[in-house]
Structures are given as C-alpha cells and as structure tokens.
Amino acid sequence: MDLELDGNVALVMGSSRGLGKACARTLAEEGAHVVCNGRDAERLSETVAELDDESGDVVGVAADLTDPDAVAALVEETVETFGGLDHVVTNVGGPATRPFLDIDDAAWVAAYERLVLSVVRVVRAATPHLRDGDGGSVVSITSRTVWETIENYALSNALRLAIVGLDSTLARELAPAVRVNAVAPGPFDTGRIDTLVEESLDAGTFDSPEAAREAWAGDVPLDRPGDPAELGDLVAYLLSPRAGYVTGETVRIDGGVTRAPR
Ligand SMILES: NC(=O)c1ccc[n+]([C@@H]2O[C@H](COP(=O)([O-])OP(=O)(O)OC[C@H]3O[C@@H](n4cnc5c(N)ncnc54)[C@H](OP(=O)(O)O)[C@@H]3O)[C@@H](O)[C@H]2O)c1
C-alpha cells in the first residue's frame, strides 16, 4: 500500500533512538521529509546519518522538550527547513517507575511537564502549519497504561490518560483539517527496557535481570516483545491519508498483553 506520504513533512519528537526513531525511519522510507529530535546532539546526528540516504530529507534538531521556547523553535526550524509541516509524532522518554509514596510533588510536576505539556506546546505551535496543508495529522505515542494499570507506575498510569483525553479533544477541535490519534504500546525492545529492568532491580522488585525481563514481556500472548519497526509502520499509517477517516482513536499495539476488552 502506498501511504501517499511522499514529499510530506513530518516532525518526530524524541526520535534519536527507540520507538520515535522507528517512526522516523518508516516515514523517511515512505518519502517524507523528516525532522528528528532528542537532547543528545551527538546521538541525534548518528541517527540522522543512519536514516538519511544523503538526500538531506532527514535532519536533526536537538531540543529539550521540557523547554517551551525550544519546542516552539523546533516547530519553526522544521517549517523553515522543509517549507511546511504536515505531520507530528508526539513522543518523549518515559517517567521513572516508583511506588506512589516515593513520588514527591516535584517529580509529579516534572513528569507532567515532560509527558503532557510537551504535547500541548508542540500541537499549539504546529496547528497553524498543519491546517495549511492538505491533511494535517498528529499521532501520540502513549503506553498500554492508558488501558491497564501497571504496578509502581503511578506517573505513567495517571499522566498518559491526560494525553488520550487531550488527543480526543483535539480530534474534535482541530477537525476537519487535522486528524489526531494515539498509539498505546506494550513491551517493545528498546533501550527503555534496560532502564526499567535496572529500576526494578534497584527497587528490589526482582532479584535478577532475567526475572525482571520475564515479568516485563513474559505474559505477551504473541510470545515476544514488539519490534520498534512494527510500531513505526502503524504510526506512519495513522499519519497518512490512507487513514483519512480515523481520528480520536487510541490503537493498542502490544502483542495482546493488555487485559482490556476493547
Ligand atoms: N519501549 C517500550 O516498551 C514502551 C512501552 C510503552 C510505552 N513506551 C513509551 O514510549 C516512549 C518511547 O519509548 P522508547 O522505548 O522509545 O524510549 P527511549 O528508548 O528511552 O527513547 C526516548 C527518546 O526520547 C528522547 N527524549 C527523552 N527525553 C527527552 C526530552 N526531554 N527532550 C527531547 N527528547 C527527549 C531520547 O533522546 P535523548 O535522551 O537524547 O533526549 C530518545 O530519543 C516513552 O514515553 C515510553 O515510556 C515505551
């Protein structure tokens, strides 16, 4: 299926590695102009070198998504570089896993700034440009926590739902010019998993990396963690005109692990 993304402009937040990088890769393969982002400029330029075929269609803009001015500048630089903006993938690194009583106010505020306000700010800045094109679209990377509570994961369990509520609101307020959807991943094989395994060992939840990994992905009916490329393909489809009648939806991509009837 031709996703009809050739020549479109996409901004993928948090895409120097992991799931965001997989989205950037699929979009570039489909012929889109892609802006990748992350804080670490060195890692970002390695990613751009890997994804770009020397056409200059993939560029990197280092920016910390918790900085409002940096988010606005990221959108402006995208538009200046490629002459417009058609698609945005909202994504940022996940919050720490901790029991509720170990999370103080500062940690709640920081997580809100990172997970929620980064999306608010990028969509606000991008909307005039998304409306200018033939079919603007936004996809937010959230988590299976929007469907099912995960132990010791209060920040994600609570704040990811704000994104689903926001996206659902935006799907109505920005229609018909802009479609807005979300994806809710289960376990995917990215560096994030190593961090989660380390955190659970530090907290004493498991006594070996093997046990932590088994708990993380062992219950998946499809019997494996996801390949980030599988998520990249879903996100590219949702962004594309081929999903032109899909908006306000949150799509699970989790190998069947989430125990929720819909
Ligand atoms: N992997 C999974 O199994 C899984 C499952 C469910 C949900 N998720 C969620 O999906 C999202 C992506 O996961 P992932 O596994 O791809 O994570 P990851 O491997 O840790 O990658 C996160 C990306 O975001 C960038 N980033 C982090 N904080 C940033 C900031 N403040 N400003 C700009 N860029 C920032 C990172 O680059 P820099 O560090 O250089 O900034 C990196 O490119 C996370 O929110 C995660 O919680 C992941």
Dihedral over Cα of 107, 141, 38, 197: its sign: positive
pLDDT tens by residue, 41-98:
999 999 999 999 888 899 999 999 999 999 999 999 999 999 999 999 999 999 988 9
Under a CB-based contact definition with an 8 Å cutoff, are residues 174 and 130 in contact?
yes
Chain center to CA of 108? 20
pLDDT tens by residue, 104-114:
999 999 999 99
The ligand 1 site (C-beta within 6 Å) comprises 14-20, 37-40, 43, 64-66, 91-94, 114, 141, 143, 185, 187-188, 190-193
Give the nearest ligand 1 atom to 95 CA: 47
The residue written with tokens 């999370």 in the block is: 103
Cα–Cα distance, 163 to 170 (Å, whole number): 10
Cα–Cα distance, 122 to 119 (Å, whole number): 5
85 alpha carbon – ligand 1 mean position (Å): 22
Q: What does the pLDDT read at residue 193?
A: 80
pTM of the shown model: 0.96
Catalytic status, residue 153? yes
3-state SS record for 218-259: CCCCCCCCECHHHHHHHHHHHHCHHHCCCCCCEEEECCCCCC
Q: Which two tokens stand for residue 192?
A: 């994030």
Report the candidate in 92, 178, 173 with the shortest Cα–Cα distance to residue 140: 92
Q: What does the pLDDT read at residue 185?
A: 97
Cα–Cα distance, 204 to 12 (Å, whole number): 35
Residue whose CA is closest, atom 2 of ligand 1?
Answer: 188
Report the candidate in 143, 149, 137, 151 with the shortest Cα–Cα distance to residue 250: 143
14 alpha carbon – ligand 1 mean position (Å): 6
Cα–Cα distance, 251 to 22 (Å, whole number): 17
Q: What does the pLDDT read at residue 108?
A: 98
Mark the ranges of the chain whose per-residue pLDDT is less than 70.
none
Give the nearest ligand 1 atom to 188 CA: 3
Neighbours of 142 (CB within 10 A): 26
The answer for residues whose C-beta is within 8 angstroms of residue 224's C-beta and 6 or more apart is: 217, 255
Report the candidate in 248, 84, 117, 241 with the shortest Cα–Cα distance to residue 175: 248
Cα–Cα distance, 18 to 118 (Å, whole number): 18
Helix (H) or strand (E) holding 62: strand 58-62
Q: What does the pLDDT read at residue 118?
A: 98
DSSP string, 112-179: HIIIIIHHHHHHHHHHHHHHHSSSEEEEEE--GGGTS--TTBHHHHHHHHHHHHHHHHHHHHSTTTEE
